[in-house]
Amino acid sequence: MAKMDEKLEVVYQDVLKRNPGEVEFHQAVREVLESIGPVLVKYPEFRERKIIERIAEPERQIIFRVPWQDDRGEVQINRGFRVQYNSALGPYKGGLRFHPSVYLGIVKFLGFEQIFKNALTGLPIGGGKGGSDFDPKGKSDNEVMRFCQSFMTELWRHIGDVTDVPAGDIGVGGREIGYMFGQFKRLTARYEAGVLTGKGLDYGGSLVRTEATGYGATFFVQEMLKARGNDTFGGKVCTVSGSGNVAIYTIEKIHQLGGKVVACSDSNGVIVDEKGIDLDLVKQLKERERRRIKDYVEYRTHAKYLHGGNIWEVPCQVAMPSATQNEINGKDAAMLVKNGCIAVGEGANMPTTPEGIKVFLDAKISYGPGKAANAGGVATSALEMQQNATRDSWTFEYTEKRLAHIMKNIHEACFNTAEEFGAKGNYVVGANIAGFMRVASAMVSHGLV
């Protein structure tokens, strides 16, 4: 692990003691603390005002019971979370994750990352995250609806368009947001469109929100390629892990920009299609039919399915991890570098382990960390909030242009900040410092709250 400023090490030890067992949260905090030492030297008031200690502690944490009945009439109990992490820059904003692995440590790591990511967008949104250990896999539509209704029956009192605005994440897409919005409307008797983002286009959703995370991550990599020597996606062989929302629209944008994605995956295995992934087929299987990625080879018999395979062993020039946290370890990263990978753009949150990040930075490939590269999703959520507040709806072209512009600005901020702090080309340092600076300055302005 990299060395940390001595006083920050003390703060980190305190975080470990106060949040036992929450390993993903510790990892996310450590990465930020390792970057921001030089900022505290330059701006001692951040240390005097105990900004780091305050940022590490969520403003509010809500944990609740979610009882629901399955199709056989059996009662099921899940646990719900909402961590309202930091409101220095705006209402808490961040997604909800429904996955059996969700516990407080996952929600806190995601919420903590979200603070800096949202700051990087330059839009008025604070950081928060939530979710449940509910597993949507194999559940009927009615079961998902009853779960979402029960989840919202507690959550509604904590959220609102100027307090806290949830959206999707793993296991939460348009269907789940729709059921939760319906229940919120019923419980509050208010049509408060801006309380959730990622809504359907027929009831206040924004064009481009569905595509935004994947498109944005691809725009970010496009900027990194440009910065490293006027390079482009044209003709590049790429791999994209996952086959959910972020992966699908990453593949779509890479193909539009002239790259070729040869592999994608799910938690069971990897598809390798040397002719280029057939995205219409992936959309059919994953978005419409809710099937597994292995079924791809039923329709494209030349492609290979590697059950339990490792997508990072497939040679590529650009890798875009878009599934989950810690999916690239040190060995995977070394393999990618050895096989000629020159750029990694993280669609997922914290997909690379600290060992993996070190490999990428040492090899001097262009490495775009999630809190910068995948910020297009939440940025477009903020654009959805803008449209809701003005009861307007923008065209696809206009909204995509706004997204592209935001991603370009984020890249520039990360690039320039890294250079300013003596770490040219290190987007981890750039993203952490640029995001931190915005939040910390606002917190100083607000006094001790």
**Binding positions for ligand 2IT, rule: CB under 6 A:** 93-95, 114, 117, 167, 169, 197, 349, 377-378, 381
- 129 as an active site residue: the answer is yes
**Count of residues that interact with ligand NDP, criterion CB under 6 A:** 23
348 binds, among ligand NDP, ligand 2IT, none (CB under 5 to 8 A by kind): ligand NDP
Contact with ligand NDP (CB under 6 A): which of 195, 316, 323, 428?
A: 323
346 vs 98, 126, 368, 406, 408, CA distance in Å?
20, 21, 6, 17, 16
Alpha-helical segments (H) within 207-353: 209-227, 245-256, 279-282, 296-299, 330-338
Polymer length in residues for the chain: 449
Per CB under 6 A, 322 contacts ligand NDP:
yes
Enter the DSSP assignment of 204.
T
- Dist. CA 302–CA 116, nearest whole Å: 43
Q: Which is nearer to ligand 2IT, 82 or 117 (CB)?
A: 117
Per CB under 6 A, 118 contacts ligand NDP:
no
| Closest CB to ligand 2IT: residue number | 95
The strand order across the sheet containing 237-240 reads 304-307, 269-272, 260-265, 237-240, 318-320, 343-345, 366-368
445 vs 88, 122, 417, CA distance in Å?
9, 17, 22
132 binds, among ligand 2IT, ligand NDP, none (CB under 5 to 8 A by kind): none
Enter the DSSP assignment of 288.
I
Per CB under 6 A, 246 contacts ligand NDP:
yes
266 binds, among ligand 2IT, ligand NDP, none (CB under 5 to 8 A by kind): ligand NDP
Q: How far is the CB of 305 from ligand NDP (least distance, A)?
A: 13
94 binds, among ligand NDP, ligand 2IT, none (CB under 5 to 8 A by kind): ligand 2IT
User: Of 93, 108, 129, 199, which one is the catalytic site residue?
Assistant: 129
- Contact segment (CB under 6 A) with ligand NDP among 67-75, 242-250, 388-396, 438-446 equals 242-250
Q: Which is nearer to ligand 2IT, 83 or 167 (CB)?
A: 167
What angle separates helix 396-420 from helix 104-121, to the nearest 10 degrees?
A: 90
Q: How far is the CB of 254 from ligand NDP (least distance, A)?
A: 15
Contact with ligand NDP (CB under 6 A): which of 153, 374, 387, 417?
A: 374
| Closest CB to ligand NDP: residue number | 244
User: Across the strands, what pairs with 160?
Assistant: 164
- Dist. CA 241–CA 327, nearest whole Å: 9
Per CB under 6 A, 277 contacts ligand NDP:
no
Instruction: Decide: 376 and 403 in contact? Cβ < 8 Å.
Output: yes
Per CB under 6 A, 349 contacts ligand NDP:
yes
331 vs 130, 316, 327, 355, CA distance in Å?
31, 16, 11, 8
- Dist. CA 347–CA 250, nearest whole Å: 8
Binding residues for ligand NDP, rule: CB under 6 A, are: 95, 168-171, 213, 242-247, 266-268, 322-324, 347-349, 374, 377
Q: Which residues are catalytic?
A: 129
